[in-house]
Amino acid sequence: MGLRNTLVVMTLLLSGAASLESQAFFNETGDLPCHFPNSRNRSLDELVIFWQDQNKLVLYELYRGQENPHNVHPKYIGRTSFDQDSWTLRLHNVQIKDKGSYQCFIHYKGPQGLVPIHQMSSDLSVLANFSQPEINLIPNQTENSNIINLTCSSTQGYPEPQRMYILLKTKNSTTEYDTVMKKSQNNITELYNISISMSFSIPPETNVSIFCVLQLEPTKTLLFSPPCNIETIKVEGTESEQTEKRVELQEPERSDEAQCDINISKTASGDKSATHF
């Protein structure tokens, strides 16, 4: 019985097979286990082993101890290696499009031809780590300098995150601000870029820390931006002098621990304020 006919037979046998969950990171290596018990201690010279994907494309074939690339689909050539000790196929340079179901088949090569003796199915999921969320402040063009305009972004991740939101922390409270999450997906890598934009007022005479939070799928992990710290400072001066002050915005220096520090200066005798970034 040839390999092509065997594929059909083994597909029918798979209907009641259990499926293992396997996970790999983008551009790294994923494991596709076979878990063959080999209770009769058969040598590789007696076996024909191969893996196929959910589209019935062959990833790897080991024919009586020798690799046989002739039946392997071109997309998998040079991307696999077989670990004989664990009966596991390793798929290298994993891409998002590699997620899905895979099957391993093992046959005994006897006098009567190929005899199916083992099969296993595994589901491969692929993850890509999003970059740390980054807050960018937008210059305030209005008279009300207590209004903060910002954007937050995170890039090159998968799968699509559950949500992105702003977390505002004061000494006595924590407030979440939700908004519409914008997303774009690369047509080739299938990785996501995520961003939000938001405007909100800062509580008066309160020191505040602003965080951008990305909630990931499927782990529910929270990924936080560096804090944007806002400090309210009372200063001496007349209301008219403070009115003449304009909002100044400076981008924070970029580093692994970059922070945006904002000072809101308030007069002791008036309601007007000036915000300094």
Same domain for 113 and 154? no
CB atoms within 10 A of CB 103: 24
Same domain, 24 and 44: yes
Place of tokens 């494309």: 57
pLDDT digit string (tens) for 176-222? 999 999 999 999 999 999 999 999 888 776 789 999 999 998 778 99
pLDDT at 20: 93
Looking at the predicted structure, is the pLDDT value of residue 144 above 90? Answer: no
Tokens of 177: 């601000």
- The parent domain of residue 68 ranges over 3-126
Asked if residue 218 and residue 104 are part of one domain, the reply reads: no
Total number of domains in the chain: 2
3-state per-residue secondary structure call for 183-244:
EEECCCCCCEEEEEEEEEECCCCCCEEEEEEEECCCCCCEEECCCEEEEEEEECCCHHHHHC
Range scoring the smallest mean pLDDT among 11-25, 84-98, 173-187: 11-25
Last residue within a domain, chosen from 126, 146, 181: 126
211, 169 Cβ separation under 8 angstroms: yes
Residue ending a domain, choose from 75, 94, 126: 126
**pLDDT for the residue 204:** 74
pTM for this prediction: 0.78
Counting every residue written for the chain, the total comes to 277
Does one domain contain both 93 and 146? no
Does the pLDDT of residue 65 top 60, yes or no?
yes
Mean pLDDT of 130-138: 95
pLDDT score of 35? 95
